[in-house]
Structure 1
Amino acid sequence: VPQSLYNYLVFLSFHLFCISYRHFFTFHFPFMKISSGDGLPMPTRISPLNYYPNNLTK
């Protein structure tokens, strides 16, 4: 296997993993959304401090 093809497959698999990872967290954990300007549906924006009231501050 050529080295360039191997690097391309590694890059492609990593790219697909990042897309599925962000898709999962966007639609199952809306408060963990990283960026707000990429046009994904975002009906309720919940902040982590409201989701975990006093557990993180102590």
Structure 2
Amino acid sequence: MDIAEQIYQEAKRLPEPLSREVLDFIGYLEAKHGLSDTPIEDLKKAQETTLGPIWDTPEDEVWDDR
């Protein structure tokens, strides 16, 4: 079994939110190493799914308009 297959097998076992984090991390690695032509804004949008609940909290509402 090659490494891509091993990653796939491990990712299949994860709950959906964690699978999204793995996918976001793969996008990060692609961007970091110049393997992707995806603009950085697309990567930021991808992170919103995973990090949205962390970024959007009642105690942080003071920063929403900045």
TM-score normalised by the shorter chain: which range applies? 0.3 to 0.5
TM-score (normalizing by structure 2): 0.32
The structure that has the greater radius of gyration is: 1
TM-score (normalizing by structure 1): 0.35
